[in-house]
Amino acid sequence: MKLGWAAGRVLVHGGKGRVLIGKDTRISGYMFESALEAGLSAAGVDIILLGPMPTPGIAYLTHNLRADAGIVISASHNSFEDNGIKFFSSHGTKLDDDLELAIEAELEQPLTTVAPAELGKARRMDDAQRRYIEFCKSSVDPDLDFSGLRLVVDCAHGAAYQVAPRVFEELGATVECIAVHPDGLNINAGCGATAPDGLRRKVLETRADLGIALDGDGDRLILVDAGGEIVDGDETLYVIAAANPRALNGAVVGTQMSNLGLERALQKLGLVLHRARVGDRYVLEMLQQRQLCLGGEGSGHIINLNLALTGDGIISALQVLGAMRKSGQGLRALLAGMNKFPQKLVNVAMQQRSDAVQQAQIDALVCAVERQLGDRGRILVRPSGTEPLLRVMVEGEDRSLVERLADEVAAQMSALVSKTQQ
């Protein structure tokens, strides 16, 4: 409640002001929604409640409706026990650091309520989903018709469970849906972008042309091709880039974890891969800094600033379908120009995130591996941003070498961590 109050005071500049609130389908969303609504009202801000909506849909509506801010209640791909709150500016973009710091500072102040006559009012918006559906459809070339395409769409029992099937159906595709019966507890449970095995089985069973898996808040996309092979975000990014490389200003943004095979494949298209820190926020920052439009992560966050303000799983899937339709080829054929390098990721546990291993020791291990890999692979060691873990990633042309080196480095790193904790 106090966060809603603080955000309302910081983000609404003069006048009554309006803030949108949307959420995914987890049961705690009701509690968070009511508390945020109360806090915003106490700050004198009007509230528009969107109900279950994908995160990118809330970003779009915040900008489209000229609201002062948008709030998303979601823990994305996490299970129902977790929840979180994300803010969008009036432009539908993530808040800059200064605004976040201002909200944090306001949280330290005593909560005061505006005069009774100035309290904010709340109303529900009945056509929010329809507006976002039309926006998604507008991202597709109007001459394209998806008639004859058979799709399986996995909505993770999440925020896109009503919107996504209608988008693809209204563009002409035949759609079979799975994980579209949320009960507040089953979001992301064995389904969606983080667990696509059920989608894979359904694609093979129904002989579909494509499987589309979204995560709980609809900003992440994992695909399954007609042969039942799972297609990750790096591969999706390549397909979208290859469909129109001349429109990309010479480069694409990935992350430190983006597969080396993506970098090599983009080079053949005349494109450079810039690597941002891991996280869609950092991909977006680099896109804006370098005045580029396309970027993404292997986890399935794809951002195309020519089409949307943030990562959008539905719009990314539509871009892939457009590439399939224009070329007359299936997804596997469109991936023929990219060969993923074998990659292994090993986590090394620490007692706490502040545990330090001497950087010189890490550098020595990394250099030794780099000498063995040469230009046929790479190694990355980085601390997790959310957990007390060191992440060791090795990739290269030789799978057995990659796996052996990753295990060896992880074992050596674990021994170093143990020494620092003694």
Catalytic residue set: 76
Calculated CA dihedral for residues 244, 247, 250, 253, nearest 10 degrees: -80
Residue 108: Cβ-neighbour burial (10 angstroms; 0-12, 13-18, 19+) = exposed
CB atoms < 10 A from the CB of 94, how many?
A: 18
Please state, in angstroms and rounded to a whole number, the distance separating the CA atoms of residues 49 and 407: 49
Paired tokens of 337: 């120009």
Q: Which of 415, 407, 408, 417 is nearest to 353 (CA)?
A: 417
φ/ψ of residue 251, rounded to 5: -155, 160
Paired tokens of 20: 């949108």
Helix then strand then coil, in percent of the chain rounded to 5, is: 40, 20, 40
Paired tokens of 93: 């973009």
Give residue for tokens 């910081």. 10
Please state, in angstroms and rounded to a whole number, the distance separating the CA atoms of residues 255 and 282: 8
Q: Which of 345, 350, 342, 323 is nearest to 334 (CA)?
A: 323
Please state, in angstroms and rounded to a whole number, the distance separating the CA atoms of residues 134 and 219: 17
Please state, in angstroms and rounded to a whole number, the distance separating the CA atoms of residues 211 and 230: 9
Please state, in angstroms and rounded to a whole number, the distance separating the CA atoms of residues 36 and 26: 16
Amino acid at 314: I
Alpha carbon distances (Å) from 96 to 11, 75, 87, 101: 12, 20, 10, 9
Q: Which of 380, 301, 295, 299 is nearest to 345 (CA)?
A: 380
Residue 9 parent element (H or E): helix 2-11
Alpha carbon distances (Å) from 212 to 51, 180, 364: 23, 13, 43
